[in-house]
Amino acid sequence: MAAFKKIGILTSGGDCAGLNAVIRAATEAATGRGWTVLGLRNGHLGLLATPPDVVDLTTDVVRADLLRAGGTMLGTTTTGDPFAFPDADGRRRDRSGEVIAAIKSLGLEALIVIGGDGSMRVFDRLLTPAGIPWVGVPKTIDNDVPGTDYAVGFFTAVEVVGEALDRLSSTAASHRRIMVLEVMGRDSGFIALFGGVAGGADVILMPEFDYDLDAVATHVRRITHNRPGPVLVVAAEGIKRPVGDGKEGSSIGAAIAVGLQTRTGFDARCTVLGHLQRGGSPAVFDRLLASTFGVHAVELLAAGASRCMTAWHGGTAVDVPMEGVVTGPRFVNAGNDLVRAAKSIGTYVGESV
């Protein structure tokens, strides 16, 4: 068992819904053990500030409202790799030593890092050689962190996609249009897959599986009996551009819409959902995941564990070694239950599945 006097918590990488809920749960669990908790602002940037940019996290600060609040009260960053930090003159400098010195000067004996696979890699490189105990909590709308079924923030993004498809379906029906919804996810198709199935999409295009726009057009004609009709297409931002699409400047969703309109003669429109998937209040499952993970991270530190990440497997919170996480990212595979379900329901999910 390990008893700490003071630990730090930070959020790193792109924001998502549920980060505040993790901060709240971890703070309550840690202060309940008599530990002092410092929130480090803006990821590692707060540790590079002079003096370090921190906030005392007490039960008063992390009241229940935080459970509902979107974003992160600590701020975050996606820039400024501490091993190659951009100086004002544009040159890059290794400032990792300063990060470690700041952690020590603040008297922090352990850290909870709420981040995606990229942040886990950076903090593993920073904290592990310095011998600072740390536990990661996975978060990202992309759900591409290896080692866990779900990351905090993912289900909120899926809810947003599902709601967008519900709304698009009525306007698609009124105008007998093809509606293409472009969703985030970077190089992984989890948001497209889960959101597409939840919202009843007719076509789901994911980066993991090749698609053929002629085959998609044939599918569209078949399900509409060759007449203009409502069709919902979900396109992940990371899919390859359609062959022969010369419009490099347009969004991938717009390119798919144009390609389908040309091939079918049916009217098509595109909506790019963008950062709406990251903002706002967390969905119920993200609140549960965040609360469980926040408490579990503290339990792991208390048990003397380090260099591991909280994870969700088979309906329960477990922990996985960081070695299996820093290899990321994770992708949808053809054996995924939802891929098979989508296919059986009659959704086009690609040529190779």
Q: Which residues bind ligand F6P (CB under 6 A)?
A: 14, 78, 140-142, 184-186, 237, 278
CB of 295 to ligand F6P, least distance (A): 25
Identify which of residues 72 and 306 has a Cβ nearer to ligand F6P in the complex.
Answer: 72
Two tokens, residue 227: 């007449």
Q: At what angle do helices 284-302 and 154-175 cross, to 10 degrees?
A: 170
Identify which of residues 141 and 342 has a Cβ nearer to ligand F6P in the complex.
Answer: 141
CB of 166 to ligand F6P, least distance (A): 21
Two tokens, residue 302: 């208390």
DSSP three-state, residue 93 = strand
| 56 catalytically annotated | no
End-to-end CA separation in angstroms for the chain: 48
Two tokens, residue 83: 């091993």
Identify which of residues 152 and 231 has a Cβ nearer to ligand F6P in the complex.
Answer: 152
Task: Give the C-alpha separation, 225 to 223, whole Å.
Answer: 6
Task: Give the C-alpha separation, 122 to 111, whole Å.
Answer: 13
Q: Which of 142, 144, 202, 319 is catalytic?
A: 142
Which residue type occupies 140? T
Identify which of residues 40 and 145 has a Cβ nearer to ligand F6P in the complex.
Answer: 145
Other residues' Cβ atoms within 10 Å of the Cβ of residue 226: 12
CB of 219 to ligand F6P, least distance (A): 26
CB of 185 to ligand F6P, least distance (A): 5
Identify which of residues 151 and 216 has a Cβ nearer to ligand F6P in the complex.
Answer: 151
Sheet holding 36-40, edge to edge: 54-57, 36-40, 6-11, 110-115, 134-138, 308-313, 316-321
- Give φ, ψ of 136 to 5 degrees: -100, 150
CB of 92 to ligand F6P, least distance (A): 20
CA distances to 12, 79, 170 from 83, in Å: 15, 11, 50
The CB-nearest residue to ligand F6P is 184
Active site residues: 142
